[in-house]
Amino acid sequence: MMSLGNDVLVFLAATVFVVPVCKRFNLSPILGFLFSGVALDQLGAFRDELLLEQLSELGVLFLLFEMGLELSLDRLKALAKFAFVLGTLQVVITTGTFTAFELPVGNGLGSDFLEWAFHASPELVDIRSFDEAVVIGMALSLSSSAFVLQLLSEKGQMGSKFGAATLGILLLQDIAVVPMLVLLPLVSAPDTLAVDGGEIGGASLMVSLLPTLIKAIGAHCRLVPEAGSSLPPELREPYLHHQAHAQDHPSAP
C-alpha cells in the first residue's frame, strides 16, 4: 500500500508540472498525462503496476461518469440519427480500411510499415489469417470515449452540431462493442461450435442469430412511440412536444 501511495505522489507531481506546460502551449492536459505516463513508466518510476492499473481504470470510470451526467435521455434519443447513420458508416468503413491495410496475409502493407518505421519483430506484427486482420480492423475502428468527450468539453463543443455528431458516433461505437465481442468466438473457432450438445458452423450460427437481431432492432424502434401513446391525455401532449423539440434541436441538452 505504501508503494501505491508513492506512485500516486509521483502522478500528482507530474500533474503539477504537465498541466501548466500544456496550457502554455494551448494543448489538452490529457495529451500531457498520456506522454508523462509513458515517460514515467519507461523511467521505472512506478513500483506497484498492478494496483496502479486498477486505480487508472477507476479514474477512467469516474471521467465517463462525469461526462454521462451532462447527457440526458432525451438528448441521447436525439443523437440516434447521428449514431445509426454516421456511426455505422464510420465503423464499417474504418474496419474495412484497416483490414485491407493488413492484407494480403503474411505480407500486409501495415505489417511492412511497422517493421520499417518501428523496427518491430515480424513475428509480432505479421498477420497470419484473414480473421485476425478483421479483428484488428474492428479494434482500430473504435475510439476512446473518455479521451474524446474530455477534449470536446475543454473546447466547449459539447453543445455544437459537431459535438452532437461526434457523440452519436461514439454512442454507436460503444454499442458496436457488444456484437464485436459476440463475434470473437466465431472468429477464433470458425469451423464448428458446440450448441445444446450438437455442433453448428460459425456461419450458420450468425445466420440463425440474424432474425433475433432484426426483431430486437424493430422492438427498440417501436418502444419510444408506443411509450408516448400509452401516456394519459394530460401528459401525452407535453411528451410529444418535447420529442418534436428534441428532433429539431439534436444538439440541445
Give me the residue spans of the domains in the chain.
Answer: 1-69, 73-248
**pLDDT tens digits in sequence order for the chain, 253 residues long:** 556 677 778 878 888 888 888 888 877 777 788 888 888 877 777 777 777 777 777 777 777 676 666 666 677 677 777 777 888 889 889 988 988 888 887 777 888 877 887 777 777 777 888 888 888 888 889 887 777 877 887 788 877 888 888 888 888 888 888 888 877 776 665 555 555 555 444 445 555 666 666 666 666 555 555 555 555 555 555 545 555 555 555 544 4
Give the pLDDT of residue 203: 47
Give CA–CA dist 116/123, Å, rounded.
14
Whether pTM > 0.85 for this model: the answer is no
Scan for cell 436525439, then name that residue. 78
Angle between helices 130-140 and 161-188 (to 10 degrees): 160
- Secondary structure percentages of the chain, helix, strand, coil, to 5: 75, 0, 20
CA distances from 192 to 198, 210, 213 (A): 10, 18, 21
Give the pLDDT of residue 93: 92
* 224, three cell numbers: 419510444
Give the pLDDT of residue 3: 67
Q: Tell me the chain's radius of gyration from C-alpha atoms.
A: 23
Give the pLDDT of residue 52: 73
